[in-house]
Amino acid sequence: MTATLVMTATITPPSSMPAVARVDPQLRLLDYCAALDHYLNLPDSSVRRIILLENSGADPQPLLERARIYRSGKSLEVISTNPDYPTNLGKGYGEFLMLDEGLREAHARQAIDRFWKVTGRLKVLNFQQLVSCAPANYDVYCDLRDVPLIGHRFGGNQWMDLRLFSCSMAGYDHYFRGKYASGSVLEQAFFVPLKRQWSERPTQIIPRFRVQPDLAGISGFSNASYQNTSYRLKTGLRRVCRSALPFLWL
């Protein structure tokens, strides 16, 4: 299975944006370049089209240079979207506004059936495995967390992980497009309708990845590495539970 990958990027975050610890544009640009290098290095049979969306008005040339360096068979499109939105609504609002605008433009250029969205500074080290193990048909394929009694000990409960998910264009239009204006925590806001729809349409809403994503990079929220000991322990626990205790949406 060959994937269309959509990477979201904000090279220069607004100074007033809440909950952003990694603010240096040069560091963020290096993060995006490193992540893009990772995906360009994957076999063309896994990723054929990369659409990188950027919403801060930064110069996209350093990102476009990566494709010339790697000379793979992949197509790379860098689409700049309108950065003008109220920052008090949060970075999630800005990201999905960027997706709304950027996907509309990319789809008009060349039709998109399904795509994988990833937070653009992050490398999904086992992305090839995730793509190859994905179901053949779905509207939304994602990770929902919903474990009774644990609260937020593992980074959020009744929560959709928005760092990485996949959906059809019809699924995106139905479940996400324009549905983020409340200023709420989107990971929680999207969880509720998706879990409800999963019970009604279990073949179209797939609420758990078949394999545990293995992330590398730096958290924009905490400035901590996704490869540090604490995070790797959580990833290991989630990997074990995913296979041994699949009813625990950890």
CATH number at residue 76: 3.90.550
Residue 131 in 3-state DSSP? Answer: helix
Range of the domain at 238: 3-244
Q: Is 44 inside any structural domain?
A: yes
Residue 160 domain flag: yes
Residue 250 lies in a domain: no
The answer as to whether 57 is a domain residue is yes
**How many domains is the chain partitioned into structurally?**
1
Q: CA 20 to CA 95: how far, in whole Å?
A: 13
Residue 175 lies in a domain: yes
Residue 249 is assigned to a structural domain of this protein: no
Q: What is the pLDDT along the chain (250 residues), one digit of tens a residue?
A: 789 999 999 999 888 777 788 989 999 999 999 999 999 999 999 999 999 999 999 998 999 888 888 878 899 999 999 878 888 888 899 999 999 999 999 999 999 999 999 999 999 999 999 999 999 999 999 999 998 766 555 556 889 999 999 999 999 999 999 998 765 789 989 999 999 999 999 999 999 999 999 999 999 888 899 999 999 999 999 999 999 999 889 8
What sign has the CA pseudo-torsion 100, 106, 107, 108? positive
Cα 36 off chain centre by:
13
Q: Specify the pTM.
A: 0.94
Residue 190 φ then ψ, to 5°:
-80, -25
